[in-house]
Structure 1
Amino acid sequence: MSSRFVFTNGHTLQLDAPPIKHFLQANPGAYTTSRTHNNASCLLFWDRHITRLSHSIHILSILAPQLLFKTNHYHSPILLPSNALQLLVNDSMCKVLPIALKDKTDCEELAITTLVTASLEELNACQDVDEESLSKILHVHVHVESYVPLAFGTPGNGAHLALAGYGRHVATAKYSDWVRIRKTLEKLRHPSVTELLLSNDGDQILEGCVTNFFVVCCKDLDSDVGTALYDYGNKYPFEVRTAPISDGVLPGIIRHLVLEVCRSEGIPFREIAPSWSEHEIWEEAFITNSLRLVQHVDSIQVPIEWHSAHSKTWKDISWTKKQFQVGEPGMITTLIQEKIMEKAILEGYPISDMCA
């Protein structure tokens, strides 16, 4: 695929659009990124993405309107009518996807980012937000470019992580300004590092810049009562841990699917931030997002002096490192990935149905 495409409000086509990170930096708003599957025959978890996008718009309109409108002025929260946002988004999708599909090669899928900005003037002029006024209030941008998924478990396809920054503001919503904010962390990225992790204290790991983070470790039989361990049938001697939403992490779609799989497969899990001080008991680690789905982790490195690290570059920092079995995802990571791929097939949104 030689081009990138953008449709705005279903009618303005931009050929040779900028890469997605530049596009998001230039436009405020809530967004979500999905991709196609099975040679671009369906969209992965599309209904979940639209629900999350609607949720992000509502949260930003209340907690951080400047991230949606570029203004701090008071206004009423945006409550979207049922299915109205999906109809608006699908209108653009129906026009951009046929063009993008013609330009796609057989080995490629499509990465599809939907960004929604809002007009404060139009919102203030409306007494009620209905389907008719929604198209005036919300501006929908659909950005499409090629994506070649990494083969799960292939040697060399594991993630290399480094702890580099503090947790994000308004983490429960996905917004474009985060792309600009996280650029300041790049000075701590070693050339071999594929994802940067976030923490507020240098020990408890929240998430990655564009991923959710999980570890698989030995069960803590003496765990505190205050941190619930969801042990469905005590089938495994390990537990999966990931930071809870209340700690300030993005409620990722694949994150939620991982927890669904743990429940259905009897894998114990605990929503508690993995602590680097306990990394010796970590048997496996993996990261998730809507493009990679599940990617096993080969290594994690953490600054020895956390509080002084942010004034330095990666060359000036002393690191401590955790190395997993290189090139091979663990048993639990593999099982979770297989089950999520099964869900991907069941919940695939056929592109042929989108414009029907």
Structure 2
Amino acid sequence: MDSYNSNNTNNTNGTNGTNGTGNVNNNELSVIVERLKSSDEKDLNDPDCKISEVEVSSGDFLLKFPRGAYTSARTVKRKSIMDLQSHVSRMVHSLRLMKFIPESEVPTEKSQDNKENNEFEAEESSQITRELIPYRKSDTFKQLIIPILRKGLSRYCEIKGLPSHNNKRECEDEIKVTILVCYSFKEKRPILVAHFINLYSLNTSRCKVEIYGEPRKSAEAKDSQWVRDRKLLESSMQPGFNEIILLDSNTQNIYEGLSSNFFAVLYNPDKQEPLVVTAPIHHVLEGTILKIVRMICERDKIDFQFWFPNANDAEQWKGAFITSTSRLVLPIELIKFRNGRPLVKLPPHNNTIEHIKNEVEKEIFHRAYRILW
């Protein structure tokens, strides 16, 4: 479908609960805000929007729209977005990498195999390129998204009875915000839409992961097609496990999780100090928490390198952790391989990981961009 329709804001389809990654399943009330008119309106501060109250998870929300660029953010005390500029930059970067072409014009695998190197490839139309210009520039995209965030957070707090605006009552509930920009060939216009739902985090201080599945293509772009592609892997995750980590089966190099970045803590015998490694950023999506981890390591003189952690060395690791919007920094206690290799149990405590975890939790307040007052 080309855009989300909800005639009944009290839809009750779905099931309760959260999945292993801490994301909410269906049957949880959420708010969707979609911009209705073009981006060249003079009044950017109060655009015409459609606001829906529906029961749909953030993942299913993305699947109800055409393929596009997306990002998942979190609130800080429900009034601010953590590191908004990083999310804006990610969206702009992804949109610049993506081409919006009708499915009928996308070459099939067979045609791609047979084409010569100099043969014409399908290109985005000049009209679509013009329409997407405001979304591919950081300053104008930020102007477009802030009113959507303001409307969505206000409505979500209102329907959930959460304090917002000038209410001084505090509450620990935070909100997950998923922003999507796609192109509707049916409506012949770009779509800017955001989804607001309760932010679920795992009720555990450590997690279990499976290493399985090949790295994804076009990892630098936050493309909602990946949400579709990873469904099969998500459904195969064993009970009690929280994430699947992707690796190259030939080299055993570890890339990233289905919805997280992956880090291993090694010991550098030459310097006699810890070494934090994660896959090079051109091979994975650089998450907002990854950027903060890198900053903390550089600031606090912790050796940090963009090297591929290798699964063959897992028994020698001093620790490992994943990062994401909902989980921030989550240490790993157990690694499972699907090739029959014995489980790898990691040390129960690592001072380097604990330091990074505590500093990330502080940093999110420093990077909060105020949306509601």
TM tier, shorter chain? 0.7 to 0.9
Deviation at 1:220, TM superposition (A): 5.4
* Counterpart position of 2:73: 34
Query: 1:187, 1:97 → 2: CA distance?
Result: 31
Larger mean CA deviation between 252-261 and 47-56 belongs to: 252-261
Deviation at 1:118, TM superposition (A): 2.3
Contact 2:28 2:57 in 1 (8 A): no
Shift of the 187–143 alpha-carbon distance from structure 1 to 2, 3 Å rule, reads closer
Give the secondary-structure state (helix, strand or coil) at the position aligned to 2:198.
Answer: strand
Instruction: Write out per-residue CA displacement over residues 177-200 of structure 1, whole angstroms, 9 at most, x where no aligned residue.
Output: 111111121354110110001012
Q: Which amino acid in the other structure matches residue 51 of structure 1? A: S
* 1:98 maps onto 2:124 in alignment: no
Match of 1:193 among 215, 219, 241: 241
Query: 1:296, 1:237 → 2: CA distance?
Result: 19
Shift of the 2–187 alpha-carbon distance from structure 1 to 2, 3 Å rule, reads closer
* Counterpart position of 1:118: 183
Query: 2:186, 2:199 → 1: CA distance?
Result: 37
* Counterpart position of 2:268: 219
Deviation at 1:139, TM superposition (A): 1.1
Instruction: Write out per-residue CA displacement over residues 21-41 of structure 1, whole angstroms, 9 at most, x where no aligned residue.
Output: 111122211000011123x13
Query: After superposition, where does 1:137-286 map in structure 2 within 5 Å?
Result: 137-150=189-202, 156-186=204-234, 188-201=236-249, 203-219=252-268, 221=270, 237-246=273-282, 248-286=283-321
TM-score (norm 2): 0.75
Contact 2:149 2:371 in 1 (8 A): no
TM-score (norm 1): 0.78
Shift of the 104–58 alpha-carbon distance from structure 1 to 2, 3 Å rule, reads farther
Give the secondary-structure state (helix, strand or coil) at the position aligned to 2:289.
Answer: helix
Structure 1 unaligned blocks of 5 or more: 123-135, 222-233, 305-317
Query: 1:142, 1:47 → 2: CA distance?
Result: 16
* 1:5 maps onto 2:31 in alignment: yes
Shift of the 177–82 alpha-carbon distance from structure 1 to 2, 3 Å rule, reads closer
* Counterpart position of 2:329: 294
Contact 1:286 1:295 in 2 (8 A): yes
Structure holding more helix per residue:
1
Contact 2:264 2:276 in 1 (8 A): yes
Shift of the 55–120 alpha-carbon distance from structure 1 to 2, 3 Å rule, reads farther
Contact 1:240 1:269 in 2 (8 A): yes
Query: 2:268, 2:227 → 1: CA distance?
Result: 36
The count of aligned residue pairs is 301
Structure 2 unaligned blocks of 5 or more: 1-26, 36-47, 107-121, 163-170
Instruction: Write out per-residue CA displacement over residues 79-134 of structure 1, whole angstroms, 9 at most, x where no aligned residue.
Output: 52341111111121222211101215533110000011125699xxxxxxxxxxxx
Query: 1:82, 1:242 → 2: CA distance?
Result: 27
* Counterpart position of 1:109: 174
* 1:351 maps onto 2:352 in alignment: no
Larger mean CA deviation between 80-89 and 162-171 belongs to: 80-89
4+ residue runs over 6 A deviation = none
Deviation at 1:319, TM superposition (A): 4.3
* Counterpart position of 1:323: 345
Contact 1:164 1:188 in 2 (8 A): no
Contact 2:210 2:241 in 1 (8 A): yes
* 1:339 maps onto 2:359 in alignment: yes
Instruction: Write out per-residue CA displacement over residues 187-241 of structure 1, whole angstroms, 9 at most, x where no aligned residue.
Output: 54110110001012262110100000001111154xxxxxxxxxxxx6x611001
Contact 1:303 1:320 in 2 (8 A): no
Query: 1:205, 1:96 → 2: CA distance?
Result: 37
Query: 2:151, 2:80 → 1: CA distance?
Result: 16
The percent of aligned pairs where both chains have the same amino acid is 25
Query: 1:255, 1:2 → 2: CA distance?
Result: 29
Instruction: Write out per-residue CA displacement over residues 309-356 of structure 1, whole angstroms, 9 at most, x where no aligned residue.
Output: xxxxxxxxx342111244x5x211111122222321111111226xxx
Query: 1:279, 1:343 → 2: CA distance?
Result: 29
